[in-house]
Structure 1
Amino acid sequence: MFEIGLFWRIHKKFKPNRTKFDWLSRDEEQVDVFAKDPYRIEDFSLGVFLDIIKNSKTINKSEAFKATPKDLPILMFSGDKDPVGEMGKGVKRVAKQFEKSGIHDFTFNLYEGGRHEMLKETNAEAVKQEVIAWLNARM
């Protein structure tokens, strides 16, 4: 087991750091809850990383987007300061792929200032309300 550089290095983008988990949310209380969680996982096996690498290559191919049912409603959202989503750049690429694939009902929200845990962010209630409104409009 080892700690991947992604998780222990990405917090540096949020200097000055209060914790090594500042990249998760602007909500310090939520960051503290995560930091104190005895069940959180920081160390992953090489097998987990191999699966992530293999599957991300597969799911990001244009064939995967083309195979998505065109009538499947999709809501995609992220924070523009999520380092896992390449500070918005990666999720924008994925959103463009979905748009190009001809999905009839595709909604994409990139929340300004949001980090990795959008449902535990400082604007979590607004995000939740937008998700609920999106779901209600389709039920």
Structure 2
Amino acid sequence: MKVQMVDGQDIELYIYEPHADIRTRGVIQLVHGSCEHAGRYEAFINYLTDKGYIVYANDHRGHGKSVSSPEDYGYFGEEDGWQMMVDDLKSINDLIHAHNPELPIVMLGHSMGSFLARHYAIDYGETINGLILSGTAHNPKFLLKIGQFVSRLAKRYQGSKHRNKLINQLSYGTFNRNLPNAKTASDWICYDEEVVREFVADSSCGFIFTNAGFYDLFTGLLYITDDKNIEKMPHDLPVLFISGEDDPVGEEGKMVKKAFHAMQKAQLINVQIKLYPQMLHEILNEKNKLEVYEDIYNWLETNI
């Protein structure tokens, strides 16, 4: 269904509920990654509802069914697009609270969704009871500032909706680096070849961000890697980091651990991490994804 945001933008929102005979345990607010859509999480959502969790998932601005024309893929807005996506999550969270006032809410973000979720926890952390971060990273600030500078220039001189292949190559093009037998540019997302084939065949996936979209992304990444901002997160918010040991986005776990330690340094008292051997970026879609699902469920039962 379409839900209108505070600026008038219509966002596609999906709500999944457990069967009537299953006791409801809580709500998961699912935040998908870049260049994809919420519909790719069907297997995980079915697992959660079978366990008694209501799931709210939206397609971000510039993604999935929240896009009205192909030129808007990877475009979040002319100004402050990243902050608007974070605020969209707040509007959806307000709906969740209104619909389910007695239930705990856990935000689960994957990839770019994990970056949005981290920003959300800084700005609105008191509105959630837990945070799960899948396939995240914690990039060096100097690289992010370069990316922000270049994308700002590209936005100014090429146009906000132009798609700069060089920026895309520098941002996403290196992710197959440890896969010498890669068959597609998207092999890095998952070892399950069927998942990759479906991703490549999906016209709503794998697009190149606009110049404005890349500028917003780098701006958001700079915000969430600032120690002063991380310190604004509620110190008692339970956080779980999960990632594949072979995930190039997190530099095979190196940047995931960096994000984990940054939260520990900020005095968060319940931060946990697990890296999964022989898994790439989309651990929720790998062949042995059930192991990840069960770990998430056990964490929810223990910490929420």
- Normalising by structure 2, we get a TM-score of 0.44
Given the alignment of the two structures, is residue 73 of structure 1 paired with residue 248 of structure 2, yes or no?
no
Higher strand residue share: 2
2:137 is matched with which residue? none
Given the alignment of the two structures, is residue 84 of structure 1 paired with residue 246 of structure 2, yes or no?
no
4-13 or 46-55, larger mean C-alpha shift: 4-13
Alpha-carbon separation, structure 2, partners of 1:39 and 1:58:
28
Contact 1:24 1:115 in 2 (8 A): yes
SS in 2 for 1:84: coil
Higher helix residue share: 1
2:187 is matched with which residue? 22
Given the alignment of the two structures, is residue 32 of structure 1 paired with residue 194 of structure 2, yes or no?
no
The amino acid of 1:2's aligned partner reads N
The amino acid of 1:84's aligned partner reads V
SS in 2 for 1:11: coil
TM-superposed deviation, 1:50: 0.6
2:269 is matched with which residue? 104
The amino acid of 2:223's aligned partner reads T
SS in 1 for 2:287: coil
Contact 1:7 1:42 in 2 (8 A): no
2:284 is matched with which residue? 119
Contact 1:26 1:121 in 2 (8 A): yes
Given the alignment of the two structures, is residue 128 of structure 1 paired with residue 128 of structure 2, yes or no?
no
The amino acid of 1:115's aligned partner reads L
**What are the ranges of 5 or more consecutive residues in structure 2 without an aligned counterpart?**
1-162
TM-superposed deviation, 1:37: 1.0
2:113 is matched with which residue? none
Alpha-carbon separation, structure 2, partners of 1:114 and 1:105:
25
Alpha-carbon separation, structure 2, partners of 1:80 and 1:57:
24
SS in 2 for 1:77: strand
Alpha-carbon separation, structure 2, partners of 1:18 and 1:115:
15
Alpha-carbon separation, structure 1, partners of 2:210 and 2:299:
37
Give the aligned length.
139
CA RMSD of aligned residues (A): 1.4
Map Cα deviations across residues 102-128 of structure 1 (whole Å, 9 max, x no partner).
212111111122211110112211001
- Considering only CA atoms, is the larger Rg found in Structure 1 or Structure 2? 2
Given the alignment of the two structures, is residue 11 of structure 1 paired with residue 173 of structure 2, yes or no?
no
The amino acid of 1:19's aligned partner reads T
Using CA pairs below 8 Å that are at least 6 residues apart, which structure has the higher relative contact order? 1
* Stretches (4+) displaced over 6 A: none
2:208 is matched with which residue? 43
Alpha-carbon separation, structure 2, partners of 1:19 and 1:45:
22
Q: Identity of paired residues, percent?
A: 29
- Normalising by structure 1, we get a TM-score of 0.91
Alpha-carbon separation, structure 2, partners of 1:38 and 1:106:
37
TM-superposed deviation, 1:94: 0.5
Alpha-carbon separation, structure 2, partners of 1:14 and 1:91:
20
Distance change in 2, residues 1:101/1:15 (3 Å): same
TM-superposed deviation, 1:45: 0.4
1:2 is matched with which residue? 164
